[in-house]
Amino acid sequence: MPSNQPQTIYLSDYKVPAYLVDTADLRFELFEDGARVHSTLAFRRNPDCQENQETGAPLQLHGDSLKLESLVLNGEAVAPSNYNVSDELLTVNQVPQHFTLQVVTWIEPQNNTRLEGLYKSAAMFCTQCEAEGFRCITYFPDRPDVMARFSTRIEADKTAYPVLLSNGNPVEQGDLSDGRHFVTWEDPFPKPAYLFALVAGDLLEKQDSFTTMSGRKVDLRMYVEPRNSEKCEYALDSLKRAMAWDEQTYGREYDLDIFMIVAVDDFNMGAMENKGLNIFNSSCVLASQETATDMAFERIESIVAHEYFHNWSGNRVTCRDWFQLSLKEGFTVFRDTQFSGDMGSATVKRIESATVLRTAQFAEDAGPMAHSVRPASYMEITNFYTLTIYVKGAEVVRMIHTLLGPDLFRKGSDLYFERHDGQAVTTDDFVKAMEDASGRDLGQFRLWYEQAGTPQLAISDEYDESAGVYHLHVKQTLPDTPGQTDKQPQHIPFALGLLGSRGEALALALSADELASGDAPQERVLELTEASHSFEFHGLSERPVSSLLRHFSAPVRVSYSWTREQLLFLMNHDSDGFNRWDAGQRLAIDVIQQMIGAPKDVTVDARLVGAFRHLISDADLDQALVAKMLVLPTVAYLAELTDGADVPAIHRARRRVLKHLAIALRDELVACYRRNIDSGPYQLGPEAVARRSLRNTALAWLLLINDEEGRSLGLGQYRDADNMTDRMGALKAFVNSGYDDDRAATLNDFYQTFQHDPQVVEQWFSVQAASRRTGQLSHIHALLEHPAFDWKNPNKIRAVIGAFAGQNLVNFHNPDGSGYQFLADQVCKLDDSNPQIAARLVSPLTRWRKFAPEYSQQMQAALMQIRDKENLSGDLYEVVYKSLA
């Protein structure tokens, strides 16, 4: 056991804070060799803390990597005998009921490679305080249930840092001696320290405005490095759409006079919702037609909205403690997916959410780090910014929405915001508001927050011809997860439709009486609460085909023995677009699985070819949905569905099916490509996006089979592209093709053209690192040596190492174990500079038990090697030890 083993923190140990902070007045002196932080805090005993009321507890403030320069209480220096400083805490033993503490600390942002607290990204200063970064700035009760009113004075060199930003409104500014200047900001809303932000730099300002529903004009400002001047428009437009949508859908109005967005190149995550001053990873906010793909535009719209929506779901109402993280994240992801669905196609958005959930969150739920939506314990909270907290958390909120219906859900959210405005609360408070507003009992539903793991529904059915009754049986089980066994059945909304033999929607009458009434609906949300249920549907003159779990109404696995004929039928006829797509996926999975290790003479089912021919050729179908349906299930998802997975074998089987389809449908693909060529100017609407997507799919398939016409279409597309989706589509197709010269030429040209744009260079790195052909280890090593690679920049690390281990599954799972060894080496190296990133990158190794023995043993060995590293960080310790346990 290493000496630095982090402590486990338990939800059951939660205690209210002993002291509260009413105001926090900060003064930052920023210099090139460090920063001095003067903090004046007004403390008082917490009336809700019984213990402190009675005995007077010592004051404990968090601190990390700080140099304490002075400590003054009510105007007098604190005697050394009355305080103690450790690596993590400043303790003042005797303090009065009310007092002012003045703390001066010295910190070194320029040497901060962890990117937590105050750090430098290129020439600018910026902060990241969630979850526990504020303690790297000054001593403070750094927990979300301590909310203070902040004022911030920033002083810096005026030439190097003309722009000085913090939360709230600017109230004063002026010049100082030595070419320095200052700006003071005041945030009228009490907030936890994790929402504090500061930015200083030579930044360009883009202005816009939004008039709120009550007629207030809000200044919208975006700050970027001058070279990014032309990449702000889409984010600002997205922001305005999000502001309007939140007013219409949730009745939520923005509350300050200014809303600011800043783009920084070095950032551990996607973006951060600091009050009034959102800070974004450049890759999640900057875009232009020439540099961003359609997917990037879509991501920007949803992340800008996500951070904006946090102003209510997160900032006005925040989390009591970090176990409640999904209170803000699950709800906010739910809100941003609703928004994205409303801006484009709700079905396509649903397919995208379900894909992430089923591929990656289900894997997390089945792995060693499985945890519930409201975890009961953690070591490092930064390891809990997971898909379970975010996307499963969003699914849980979505199920409440499904159970209550939109009107009662809105009543519930209104009550939640009204009841808890200005408070730090729990997921239970959220559910309670939903219950109180709707009158529904969500007692059993709360298990979704407490029990980890993905419920499995085993479904069977039979048809009683003589009675005209169809019987549907549903059994739910919840697998064991680390520390949790023998779980209880959960409350699951299960949306169902039944189709007749001509594809028509049938009435779902649960009894003879309902049948007689003639009011039976054509879709029902059945509520599963028991371990097993049987339902009867009356008045059916033939055996129906079931459309199960429509819209993916719950985050569960469904098993049912569909015939291929039934899947083909659902693909063509289901009125639920999600299930049409899902039927196609299930059919493709079945066909690919049959090919794993199959002898050469086994051929691909002609019915799959027929189904794809129909999709590619029928221009009357919903083209956005078709574009999704043409994407075969990924190797990652196929591996997730398999115990003892042999990834290279899965990859070969998938490829065999793909090539078979491409050869069989070659003419249709060329026709589809040509039909979808854009004649007019570039557009970003759903139709144009679907056209580009179809064209790029057709191109990729044609190049996979070395089709000469495909090659010339691809070269033309690359050369003439006026947007990044087309250019990247062609580049990707060549990178993954057998045309070695074209691959080298397009990669080279792409780099020459875009080498000055870091966001595009990131894409250039990742298209290579994720490719079966260019992503072999020797090439990955070459990418790490490339002058544009930067070990300090999380985006570059993700673009090469993350893309290799997370997307290039066939090379990562090289049977010789070299991929695992490579990842272990890089993770150890990164752990010394940025442990948060190291702990995230290691995740592909943590699933070692999932794979066939020759793979899993080598993965385990790689994890052990990391475990034995000297000075293992707490972040990595938690992930590696839990994975090996």
Which parts of this chain interact with ligand 0A1 (CB under 6 A)?
Answer: 128, 130-131, 268-273, 306-307, 329, 382, 385
Interacting partner of 130 out of ligand 0A1, Zn ion, none (Cβ under 5 to 8 A depending on kind): ligand 0A1
The residue with its CB nearest to ligand 0A1 is: 269
| Separation CA 704–CA 660 (nearest Å) | 10
Name the minimum Å distance from CB 683 to ligand 0A1.
29
The residue among 758 and 794 lying less far from ligand 0A1, judged by its C-beta, is: 794
- The DSSP element (H or E) to which 155 belongs, if any, is strand 149-157
- Residue 284's DSSP bridge partners are none
Binding mask 80-119 for Zn ion (x = CB under 5 A): ----------------------------------------
Interacting partner of 272 out of Zn ion, ligand 0A1, none (Cβ under 5 to 8 A depending on kind): ligand 0A1
Name the minimum Å distance from CB 272 to ligand 0A1.
4
- Residue 125's DSSP bridge partners are 120, 200
Interacting partner of 395 out of Zn ion, ligand 0A1, none (Cβ under 5 to 8 A depending on kind): none
Q: What are phi and psi of 850, to 5 degrees?
A: -75, -20
Q: Are strands 180-186 and 169-175 parallel, antiparallel or unpaired?
A: antiparallel
| Separation CA 235–CA 239 (nearest Å) | 6
Name the minimum Å distance from CB 568 to Zn ion.
40
The radius of gyration of the chain from alpha carbons, rounded to an integer in Å, stands at 28
Tokens 């990859």 belong to residue: 651
Q: Is 144 helix (H, G, I), strand (E, B) or coil?
A: coil
Interacting partner of 271 out of ligand 0A1, Zn ion, none (Cβ under 5 to 8 A depending on kind): ligand 0A1
The residue among 269 and 783 lying less far from Zn ion, judged by its C-beta, is: 269
Q: What are phi and psi of 249, to 5 degrees?
A: -85, -35
In the window 401-440, what residues touch Zn ion (CB under 5 A)? none
**Max Cα distance, the chain (Å):** 95
Strand positions, DSSP E, 548-626: 557-559
The residue among 385 and 537 lying less far from ligand 0A1, judged by its C-beta, is: 385
Name the minimum Å distance from CB 304 to ligand 0A1.
11
The residue among 379 and 472 lying less far from ligand 0A1, judged by its C-beta, is: 379
The residue among 307 and 605 lying less far from ligand 0A1, judged by its C-beta, is: 307
Any idea what DSSP says for residue 383?
A: G
Tokens 């008039």 belong to residue: 211
Name the minimum Å distance from CB 769 to ligand 0A1.
24
Among residues 100, 132, 138, which one has the least CA distance to residue 19? 100
Name the minimum Å distance from CB 273 to Zn ion.
6
CB 137 within 8 Å of CB 109: no
Name the minimum Å distance from CB 643 to ligand 0A1.
33
Tokens 């941003």 belong to residue: 336
Q: Is 152 helix (H, G, I), strand (E, B) or coil?
A: strand
Name the minimum Å distance from CB 520 to Zn ion.
41
Interacting partner of 385 out of ligand 0A1, Zn ion, none (Cβ under 5 to 8 A depending on kind): ligand 0A1
Name the minimum Å distance from CB 600 to Zn ion.
50
Q: Which residues are catalytic?
A: 307
Other Cβ atoms less than 10 A from the Cβ of 528: the count is 21
In the window 739-768, what residues touch Zn ion (CB under 5 A)? none
In the window 313-332, what residues touch Zn ion (CB under 5 A)? 329, 332
Name the minimum Å distance from CB 191 to ligand 0A1.
13
Q: What are phi and psi of 681, to 5 degrees?
A: -70, 160
The residue among 332 and 814 lying less far from Zn ion, judged by its C-beta, is: 332
The residue among 329 and 707 lying less far from Zn ion, judged by its C-beta, is: 329
The residue among 163 and 325 lying less far from Zn ion, judged by its C-beta, is: 325
| Separation CA 549–CA 613 (nearest Å) | 27
Q: What are phi and psi of 587, to 5 degrees?
A: -65, -45
SS (H, E, C) 37-89: EEEEEEEEECCCCHHHHHHCCCEEEECCCCEEEEEEECCEECCHHHEEECCCE
Interacting partner of 336 out of ligand 0A1, Zn ion, none (Cβ under 5 to 8 A depending on kind): none
Interacting partner of 689 out of ligand 0A1, Zn ion, none (Cβ under 5 to 8 A depending on kind): none
DSSP string of 448-504? HHH--S--EEEEEEEEETTTTEEEEEEEEE---BTTB-SPPP--EEEEEEEE-TTSP
**Entry field: residues in the chain:** 885
The stretches of 4-127 forming alpha helices (DSSP H) are 50-55
Interacting partner of 128 out of Zn ion, ligand 0A1, none (Cβ under 5 to 8 A depending on kind): ligand 0A1
The residue among 37 and 131 lying less far from ligand 0A1, judged by its C-beta, is: 131
The residue among 322 and 877 lying less far from Zn ion, judged by its C-beta, is: 322
Name the minimum Å distance from CB 333 to Zn ion.
7
Percent of residues in the chain assigned helix, strand, coil, to nearest 5: 45, 20, 35
Q: Are strands 149-157 and 19-31 parallel, antiparallel or unpaired?
A: parallel
Q: Write out the two tokens for 213.
A: 């529903």
The residue among 187 and 329 lying less far from Zn ion, judged by its C-beta, is: 329
Tokens 């609906």 belong to residue: 521
Q: Write out the two tokens for 758.
A: 């870091």
Interacting partner of 623 out of ligand 0A1, Zn ion, none (Cβ under 5 to 8 A depending on kind): none
Name the minimum Å distance from CB 131 to ligand 0A1.
6
Among residues 626, 692, 781, 845, which one has the least CA distance to residue 298? 692
The residue among 25 and 329 lying less far from Zn ion, judged by its C-beta, is: 329
CB 266 within 8 Å of CB 127: no
Q: Is 635 helix (H, G, I), strand (E, B) or coil?
A: helix
In the window 677-706, what residues touch Zn ion (CB under 5 A)? none
For residue 77, count CB atoms less than 10 angstroms from its CB and return exposed for 0-12, middle for 13-18, buried for 19 or more.
Answer: exposed
Helix 294-309 vs helix 724-735: crossing angle, to nearest 10: 120
470 Cα distance to chain centroid: 41
Tell me the residue type at 104: V
| Separation CA 107–CA 86 (nearest Å) | 16
Interacting partner of 382 out of ligand 0A1, Zn ion, none (Cβ under 5 to 8 A depending on kind): ligand 0A1
Q: Total number of residues binding Zn ion (CB under 5 A)? A: 2
> Which residues sit at the interface with Zn ion, rule CB under 5 A?
329, 332
